[in-house]
């Protein structure tokens, strides 16, 4: 029997979807993440996604992971202008100078949060007391583009020097790291 999946945010449904998208939906989307390096990776990927489709980001994800040194925030924080130029020449990633510079800025801010809180995981999950927010969605209209939580986290991140962390990007980030579970009620991958 074919498994049921959410049909809204990834163009899922039918047999039209890329393998990467299905794999992401089935194994990663809305699944809790507590590894700091992966939390940083998702923050960069969500920022890169602004203005383009998530499907494109998933198709280029391995290229991003290679170009950004496995998303090790310590390494990315040390990127210099030569590395920025190298990244701008990499056809396998999104070559947007402000997004690339934001990733570097965010790595530095990420490290400051780690230093203050012991881990980024402790910081980001503290906004919900470590709990997953499950919206029990039944219809596409039930899922917001942003909410009070993403607005609050966005403001806090901006205050701490992060870039490309508006409330809509952060809402998507919260889904991507599993703080928010927006799988539909009927989805077999909840």
Q: How does pLDDT run across 52-92, given as a tens digit for each residue?
A: 988 899 999 999 999 999 999 999 999 999 999 999 999 99
State the pLDDT at residue 12: 44
* Residue 121, pLDDT above cutoff 60: yes
- Domain 19-181, CATH homologous superfamily name and number: Hypothetical protein; domain 2 (1.10.340.30)
Mean pLDDT score of the chain: 92
Note the pLDDT tens digit of each residue in 174-187. Answer: 999 999 999 999 99
* Residue 15, pLDDT above cutoff 60: no
Q: Which residues participate in catalysis according to the annotation? A: 24, 46, 54
| Cα separations in angstroms, 109 against 14, 88, 129, 166, 178 | 41, 22, 22, 15, 22
């Amino acid at each position: 029997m074919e498994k049921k999946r959410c049909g809204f945010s990834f163009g899922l449904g039918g047999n039209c979807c890329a393998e990467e998208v299905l794999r992401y939906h089935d194994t990663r989307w809305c699944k809790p993440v507590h590894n700091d390096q992966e939390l940083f990776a998702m923050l960069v990927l969500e920022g890169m996604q602004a203005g383009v489709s998530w499907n494109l980001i998933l198709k280029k994800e391995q290229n991003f992971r290679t170009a950004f040194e496995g998303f090790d925030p310590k390494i990315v924080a040390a990127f210099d202008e030569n590395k920025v130029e190298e990244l701008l020449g990499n056809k396998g990633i999104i070559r947007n100078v402000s997004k690339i510079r934001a990733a570097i800025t965010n790595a530095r801010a990420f490290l400051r949060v780690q230093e203050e809180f012991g881990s980024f995981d402790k910081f980001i999950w503290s906004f919900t007391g470590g709990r997953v927010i499950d919206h029990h969605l039944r219809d596409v209209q039930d899922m917001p583009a942003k909410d009070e939580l993403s607005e609050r986290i966005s403001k806090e991140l901006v205050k701490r020097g992060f870039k490309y962390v508006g409330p809509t990007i952060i809402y998507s980030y919260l889904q991507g790291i599993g703080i928010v579970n927006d799988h539909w009620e009927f989805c077999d991958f909840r």
